[in-house]
């Protein structure tokens, strides 16, 4: 296997840009896809998020594009706004040395602002719904697009974007290069791949997020002590932590309580507007926030590097949710840690899930006889603290304080 981007046909200019970002050698998906993509072939790739697939299509795209060509000439469709933003970020550093511009189009921001940026861009990264809206208004034309990428195609279909994708593809010249990336190439994804591509080269890598390279821990904890235990863990163990909860309100509430204990925490979920979600994600990715509390909206389509651990504060109800959550850590060959809190009433369900995922040994280490750890059983409220309250959380106080608390939530 090659250990150099130059060996794959990548130009020295791009190779230097990659090196400046600390990317010295290609991942497997890049090694397999880049030569075919640079040659202009249609490509089908079964690969999971976090495998390095963005650069697998970004590098060939900028190598093949003419900065003096009509704009836009390349389009990447993604299922979510967060993924569109991250893909555009991956492009930025390697597109600039080639004098190529990148723009994003997705909901939650001004159409006119996006249209102005898109009209000057060589490469568009967009969600299907917003792009179809912009194109149908005549604000942007796709007639000169010669490279099309469908990123996380299975996720786009799951979200119901098939009609919009169909309309957008119909507006693009058939004389194009098409690259499709998906966790599966079967079923409906396989059918659209057949319709949209011509004699494609197929590369099948690991399809789903893996849990085998992640250290798994199941922690027995009483419901009333979960926040206290999480706060102690975050204080004692440095590193970025992605914390999953079931509900949007629960995410906001937990982030507030962690912040009250002196931990840099923020929440991200579907009720946040796009700018709020982008700020939360950027703060977490940069390290300004060490704990990102999220609902399952963050379990897929978000690629944050160097997540030290994932904590299932609320255990997921489905095996796939567990796999996708845990897949946010231990990425790109790095070691990750998964910690799942298990209250007594959750023991049976989580135990069965652990067994189905071949994690019964990890589960049995602490849960062979599930009980709250001794410090949970023995800890007494500190002076001035209500029994069962979170250590370090301000008292609710009188009516005015309770009103302020409600407004803060």
DSSP state letters, 119-145: HT-SEEEE-HHHHHHHHHTTS---TT-
5, pLDDT greater than 70: yes
373, pLDDT greater than 70: no
Q: Which of 162-176, 289-303, 328-342 has the lowest mean pLDDT?
A: 289-303
207, pLDDT greater than 90: no
**What are 246's two structure tokens?**
């079931």
204, pLDDT greater than 50: yes
Answer for the pair 308, 329: CB distance below 8 angstroms, yes or no. Answer: yes
Q: Which of 23-27, 174-178, 204-208, 392-396 has the lowest mean pLDDT?
A: 392-396
Exposure of 409 by Cβ count < 10 A (0-12 exposed, 13-18 middle, 19+ buried)?
exposed
142, pLDDT greater than 90: yes
Q: Where is 327: in which H helix or E strand?
A: none
Answer for the pair 9, 15: CB distance below 8 angstroms, yes or no. Answer: no
d(CA 112, CA 101): 18
**Domains of the chain by residue range:** 6-204, 214-379+387-392
Q: 159 preceded by cis ω (within 30°)? A: no
Domain 214-379+387-392: give its CATH code: 3.40.50.300
**What is the CB neighbour count within 10 angstroms for residue 368?**
7
| Alpha-carbon separation of residue 142 from 21, 57, 209 (angstroms) | 31, 19, 33
d(CA 334, CA 232): 25
Closest residue by Cα to residue 258 from 234, 280, 282, 224: 234
153 or 270: whose pLDDT is higher? 153
What is the model's pTM?
0.66
331, pLDDT greater than 60: yes
The order of strands in the sheet holding 177-182 is 102-105, 123-126, 74-77, 147-150, 177-182, 43-46, 201-204
d(CA 40, CA 151): 17
Fold identical between 6-204 and 214-379+387-392? yes
Return the pLDDT at 234.
94
Tens-digit pLDDT profile for residues 374-407: 444 444 444 444 443 333 333 344 444 444 444 4
**What are 103's two structure tokens?**
């723009």
Q: What would the mean pLDDT of 127-149 be, rounded to a whole number?
A: 95
**What are 285's two structure tokens?**
């990715």
Q: Name residue 294's beta-bridge partners.
A: 244, 268
7, pLDDT greater than 80: yes
49, pLDDT greater than 70: no
Q: What would the mean pLDDT of 224-231 be, rounded to a whole number?
A: 94
d(CA 381, CA 399): 23
Helix spans in 177-298 (H)? 187-196, 226-236, 248-260, 274-286
147, pLDDT greater than 70: yes
The order of strands in the sheet holding 291-294 is 214-220, 336-342, 309-312, 241-244, 291-294, 265-268
**What are 396's two structure tokens?**
């609710």
Name the percent of the chain lying above pLDDT 70.
83
Tens-digit pLDDT profile for residues 262-317: 999 999 876 666 677 778 888 888 889 999 999 886 665 566 778 899 999 999 98
Average pLDDT for the chain: 85
Q: Within its chain, how far is the Cα of 251 from the centroid?
A: 17
Instruction: Confirm or reject CATH 3.10.420.10 for domain 6-204, answering yes or no.
Output: no
Return the pLDDT at 255.
95
Return the pLDDT at 183.
81
Quick one: three-class SS letters along 331-394? CCCCCEEEEEEECHHHHHHHHHHHHHCCCHHHHHHHHCCCCCCHHHHHCCCCCCCCCCCCCCCC
Q: What would the mean pLDDT of 220-226 be, rounded to a whole number?
A: 92
Tens-digit pLDDT profile for residues 96-126: 999 999 999 998 888 988 999 999 999 999 9
d(CA 346, CA 226): 13
Q: What would the mean pLDDT of 365-371 be, rounded to a whole number?
A: 60
């Amino acid at each position: 296997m090659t250990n150099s981007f130059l060996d794959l046909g990548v130009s020295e200019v791009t190779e230097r840009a990659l090196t400046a970002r600390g990317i010295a050698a290609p991942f497997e998906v890049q090694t397999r896809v880049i030569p075919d993509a640079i040659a202009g072939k249609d490509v089908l790739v079964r690969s999971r998020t976090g495998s390095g697939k963005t650069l697998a299509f970004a590098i060939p795209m900028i190598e093949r594009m003419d900065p003096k060509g009509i704009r836009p000439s390349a389009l990447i469709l993604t299922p979510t706004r967060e993924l569109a933003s991250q893909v555009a970020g991956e492009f930025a550093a390697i597109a600039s040395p080639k004098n190529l511009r990148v723009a994003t189009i997705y909901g939650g921001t001004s159409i006119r602002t996006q249209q102005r940026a898109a009209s000057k861009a060589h490469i568009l990264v967009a969600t299907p719904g917003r792009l179809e809206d912009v194109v149908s208004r005549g604000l942007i034309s796709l007639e000169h697009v010669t490279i099309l990428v469908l990123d996380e195609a299975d996720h786009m279909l799951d979200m119901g974007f098939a009609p919009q994708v169909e309309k957008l593809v119909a507006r693009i010249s058939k004389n194009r290069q098409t690259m499709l990336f998906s966790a599966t190439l079967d079923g409906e994804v396989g059918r659209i791949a057949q319709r949209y591509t011509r004699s494609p080269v197929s590369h099948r890598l690991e399809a789903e997020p893996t849990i085998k390279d992640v250290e798994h821990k199941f922690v027995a904890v009483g419901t009333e002590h979960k926040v206290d235990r999480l706060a102690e863990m975050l204080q004692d163990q440095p590193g970025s932590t992605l914390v999953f909860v079931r509900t949007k309100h629960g995410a906001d509430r937990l982030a507030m309580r962690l912040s009250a204990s002196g931990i840099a925490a923020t929440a991200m979920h579907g009720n946040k507007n796009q700018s709020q979600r982008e700020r939360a994600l950027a703060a977490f990715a940069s390290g300004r926030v060490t704990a990102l509390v999220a609902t399952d909206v963050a379990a897929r389509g978000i690629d944050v590097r160097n997540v030290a651990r994932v904590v299932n504060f609320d255990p997921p109800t489905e095996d796939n949710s567990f796999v996708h959550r845990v897949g946010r850590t231990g990425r790109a060959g790095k070691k990750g840690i998964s910690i799942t809190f298990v209250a007594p009433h959750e023991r049976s369900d989580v135990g069965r899930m652990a067994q189905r995922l071949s994690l019964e040994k990890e589960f049995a280490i602490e849960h062979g006889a599930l009980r709250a750890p001794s410090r949970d059983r023995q800890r007494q409220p500190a002076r001035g603290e209500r029994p069962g309250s979170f250590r370090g959380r301000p008292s609710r106080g009188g009516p005015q304080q309770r009103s302020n608390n409600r407004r803060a939530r």
